[in-house]
Chain A
């Protein structure tokens, strides 16, 4: 912290040294700070103490550095980080000092100040302890006062008042940072001090013209305030001279040795000027707008002139007056710099304030938007929770580490688990090791990016055992360069009711299967036995009735069989017991099974088989083939041929029944993936518009004809279901009057082996 040196010690030393000048030339309470004092603290002090011209950095009362007010202002202007700087960063070292014992030798002091071009000279005792600081200006004034005293000049106050007056003016100038006020104070005070008729400050404009911007004038003379000076009056070469520090003291403007140009004489005569004293005011250049924001380039130029006029008489300007004017011009310059700095800082503050206001506005807007988004999110989350908590399913989200991250309220209702307590807990820990091991493969599959479903049993909190269907949907993040599974969503649905219905249906089918077939078996067998005639001959009409009953019983048997078959297949009850089967054997088996019927219809069955192995349930493939063969035989005219064939077929992965046809097949197809079965007849054919619908249930080409042929309308539907269950495709092609071909594909055993190997 700063302090002022105590006067007590100085006073005693002063008495000891006996210097008459000591109190006049020195500040015996110089302001000192520790060298590590923060610049901000020092500047804050300076603001409250305009009379302080320099700051001393001291340690144990010994001077370690010195900084003038101007040094501090420069630091403020040039360093954006000034607030964090220390006094030690800007002070001048080493410090030129003078011993107290030497201060009586004024000329030595002046010489030292001039030699080092310094304004302040700290005075130290024999142990280098600080006693005070000599101010160059004060020293010069004292000297001047001495001289003036010797010259018996009564125009100005004598020692020690002159020094005080100067200090007083300086203080007044420094007390304001407002340019106009500074300038007016300066001219007022100088006019008062010099007793001049007019003191003015003339500002030089960038274009070389200028005008009086501040003036103190006695009422007897006209004011030249705001009057522009033509360039001829103050030409550029004069400006250059003044910029270099020229001081012009003219006792009589009309005297030939005054060398005042005629043009200027005419001008100044207008204002009754007899004598004039002109000193330049130089100051740093204004920082250009494009300059770096945190530094000010320091270049001096002629800012203006400080001019004193004597109008009532010719006046010889003393050296002291000239010196005083120069000193005050310097002070004005300094004050201008400070004012400029102030303006600059104020502009910066305004700019920063504007920026901050804008940023603040933006921030407020962002906060508002964020609040709106948060509110929307909150509403969305509330809505989501409302939905998830009211859906009769368990909904959970499990992360990669298999920890629950979300559970809906239904967990509590069904299982008694509080969602809050489940949050963050491992699945394994919560559901127990035994159940975890059961579902582990599904969890791992989901975390591997696969959607999986399984059925399971759960014991609810109320003790009921329920059947559930569980689906895991992987949460795949595509945002990153490589898609990553972040976790999975788990949906668990209570399917107990559906299961109960399924069981009822199964029971129903079983009952129908048994209860319908049993009486049918009796009727069917009885009719067949009657038809043999072995139980007695019937009349012709009786025989016909018997045939009708027999045929319709057959049809009823087929219908019951088909309905039950279809029901089973659609309910998924059918278990495909797939194995590698020889296509040739299947073809022969089917042909043999239909031989009797073919014989009955006088149809020839021709087979053509390529030796292949398919992955299928042989019973169902034979059922499909016999069904298709039965149709072919029924709808063929006597003595026609039905061809049953099988060949290799390289199925296109994205082909559909409509775009698959034998014409697509090419012998060059690589490694066949399926076997293509074909049942070809020479029957009446199927109209094109019926081709796609004949595989739908009860969609016969001609129902009356079909009934005549004993069809049930379900045969082709069953065929399609069987083929699809085997991963194959079925379709038909036909030309009216020329016959039909029914095709279906079944995957080859080798293709499935290849497929499973490639998926490993």
Chain B
């Protein structure tokens, strides 16, 4: 976890545009840093290296999907403690529940409200945004 109030979030998504808008949203809303990964395998690697405060993990990815990636992160002593939030286009309640049952910290569906994304993550992980250095207009 980052020593300062600024959070470092690992964004794992095979869509580069999503990586960009999520990263920008977090930056603008809460001045959070982002680490980007385009696949599950890269995500695990980046998590080991950067030890982010949280991981935003896309569910539907080729080769290794979000569920397998989460399982690998859970089984990795170096990444086990990092909270994971699924970022998914699947919106059905039953699917969301299925994802939650895997043990992830939360599920955020696409499309999300860009300037409320950091707030949503904070709520899911019981962080207080007020304690953090606001980078955007939202405090």
- Which A residues lie at the B interface, using CB under 8 A? 510, 513-514, 517-522, 524-526, 528-529, 532, 534, 557, 561, 564-565, 568, 573-575, 577, 617, 619-620
Contacting pair A522 B18 (CB below 8 A): yes
CA of A577 to CA of B101 in the docked complex: distance in angstroms?
14
Interface pair A517/B111, CB less than 8 Å apart: yes
Specify which chain A residues have a CB less than 8 angstroms from the CB of B25 in the assembled complex. 525, 528-529
13 A-B pairs within 8 Å (CB atoms) are namely A510-B90, A513-B90, A518-B110, A521-B21, A521-B112, A522-B21, A525-B25, A525-B111, A525-B114, A528-B25, A529-B114, A534-B28, A577-B97
| Cα distance, A573 to B25, chains bound together (Å) | 34
Taking CB as reference atom, which chain B residue is nearest A554? B111
Q: Pick the residue among A519, A525, A529, A561 that contacts B91 (CB under 8 A).
A: A561
B138 closest partner in A (C-beta): A532
Supposing A525-B22, A525-B111 touch, asked if A565 and B17 sit within 8 A by C-beta, the answer is: no
In contact, A534 and B137 (Cβ under 8 angstroms): yes
A623 — nearest CB in chain B belongs to which residue? B93
Closest 3 CB pairs of A and B: A525-B21, A522-B17, A517-B89
Produce 1/0 per residue, B97-130, CB < 8 A to A: 1000000000000111111000000000000000
Interface assignment of B92: CB less than 8 Å from any CB of chain A: yes
Q: B residues near A, CB below 8 A?
A: 15, 17-18, 20-22, 24-25, 28, 60, 89-94, 97, 110-115, 136-137
Task: Please count the residue pairs between chain A and chain B whose beta carbons lie under 8 angstroms apart in the complex.
Answer: 73
Beyond contacts A574-B94, A577-B94, A619-B93: 8 other A-B pairs, Cβ-Cβ < 8 A, are A510-B90, A514-B90, A518-B89, A520-B110, A528-B114, A529-B114, A564-B91, A573-B92
In the complex, the answer to whether B97 meets A526 with C-beta atoms within 8 Å is no
Please state if A514 and B89 are interface contacts (CB–CB under 8 Å).
yes
* Chain B contacts for A522, CB-based, 8 A: 15, 17-18, 20-21
Q: Is the CB of B115 within 8 A of A529?
A: yes
Q: Which of A519, A521, A526, A532 has the most CB of B within 10 A?
A: A521
Instruction: Evaluate contact between B18 and A521: CB separation under 8 angstroms.
Output: yes
Contact check, A518 vs B90: say whether CB atoms are below 8 A apart: no
A194 to B15, CA, bound (A): 149
* Contact (Cβ within 8 A) A557 B111: yes
For B94, the chain A residues whose CB sits under 8 A away are: 574-575, 577
Q: Interface centre among A528, A577, A619, A620, by most B CB within 10 Å?
A: A528
Decide: B111 and A565 in contact? CB cutoff 8 A.
Answer: no
Residues of B within 8 A of A565 (CB): 91-92
How far is B137's CA from A315's CA once the two chains are assembled, in angstroms?
A: 170
Q: Is the CB of B137 within 8 A of A519?
A: no
Given contacts A525-B25, A525-B114, A529-B115, contact A617 B91 (CB under 8 A): no
Q: Which residues of A contact B17 (CB under 8 A)?
A: 518-519, 522
In the bound complex, residues from chain A placing their C-beta under 8 Å from that of B28 are: 529, 532, 534
Expressed in whole angstroms, the Cα–Cα distance for A575 and B113 within the complex equals 26
Task: Evaluate contact between A513 and B91: CB separation under 8 angstroms.
Answer: yes
Q: Which residue of A lies closest to B87 (CB)?
A: A521
Bound-state Cα–Cα, A339 to B113, Å: 124
